[in-house]
Amino acid sequence: MNKREKKFYGKILMFGEYVLMFDSMALSIPYKQKYGCLTFSPGGRGHQIFNFTEHLKPYLNHLKELQAKQELLSILRLDEMQRDIKGGLVFDSTLPIGYGLGSSGALVAALYDRYAEDAIVPAMDLTVKELLILKKQFSQLESFFHGTSSGLDPLVSYLHEAILIEGKDKLKTVSLPEEKEGRESAIFLLDTGVMGETQPLVNWFMEQCEENHFCNRVKNEFIPLTNDSIRSFLAGKTDNLLKQVKQLSRFTLSHFHPMVPEHLNAVWEKGLASDAYYLKLCGSGGGGMMLGFTKDMEKAREMLGEFPIDVIRFL
């Protein structure tokens, strides 16, 4: 791998799906099993190749339009980018598209790293101001792919660090608790086998929030559970975490029904009834990956045998 072909990992939104809109807490971590890199020499089994000339030329044109209007928040060397594209530059990625793992975020982070003038250099001691500047720049750069973007996915990918959001304009990098190898308790990804579409689900959520009853339940039940889960996870309090995630799982199944694919309803309920595992959204839902939490990984594997599972952390 060429020294300029840096890896940019995907992300996992552990907690905070949808409630970011309410300035709630959220925690997003790097998903280091999957990554993408800009390269002139693509290859590798299972890799997806984003050919700029064929697929992402409209994105370059979009950036040029913003630059021409003097609206581009980050100064990018777009002429250099165009020359590289003509020279065969591609984004070689192991991240599946439409699975909530930050494929577009990794792409944006890679482009910023390679072409941004006066880029803010990744570091653990970045100030809140620097983090917010990066987040705003990334939000603009990623919005092309989703219509809107918080900028959080590219930020996690660019810094290679977990990001904790504690409210509006309050965010910081955090260290995760030490992973306990060999433990039965674990967090895993479950592949639903179908792609998810973010924007229709966000639209549904926003429409529901216009109803006081739904909005109050989100504010009074879902947000406190989300915040408590984040605190328990970062403090390494596994027993508390599993209890809170069970409640999050039940709330999601009851009130966020479009976000749970129909073919998952039975296994979702089965986990709750048996206490063998608890499923929750991994981002917007609707498909892609779901997160699972269990106190007995082998039992969870046995009960979810039809679904591909990837353990991401032991608790």
Per-residue model confidence (pLDDT) at position 2: 47
Per-residue model confidence (pLDDT) at position 4: 57
Domains within the chain, CATH numbers bracketed: 8-174 (3.30.230), 186-314 (3.30.70.890)
Per-residue model confidence (pLDDT) at position 97: 81
d(CA 138, CA 134): 6
Q: Token match 């591909």: residue? A: 308
Three-state DSSP class for 37? strand
Per-residue model confidence (pLDDT) at position 51: 62
Q: Are residues 280 and 243 in contact, defined by beta-carbon separation less than 8 angstroms?
A: no
Q: Token match 């032991």: residue? A: 314
d(CA 284, CA 259): 7
Whether pTM > 0.95 for this model: the answer is no
Three-state DSSP class for 148? coil
Per-residue model confidence (pLDDT) at position 52: 61
Per-residue model confidence (pLDDT) at position 47: 66
Per-residue model confidence (pLDDT) at position 48: 67
pLDDT digit string, tens, across residues 40-74:
887 665 566 666 666 678 899 999 999 999 999 99
Three-state DSSP class for 184? coil
DSSP states of 251-267? HHHHH-GGGS-GGGHHH
- Report the half-sphere exposure of 299 (CA within 13 A, side-chain side): 14
**pLDDT-flagged residues of the chain (< 50):** 1-3
Per-residue model confidence (pLDDT) at position 3: 45
Enumerate the β-bridge partners of residue 12. Answer: 29
Per-residue model confidence (pLDDT) at position 1: 41
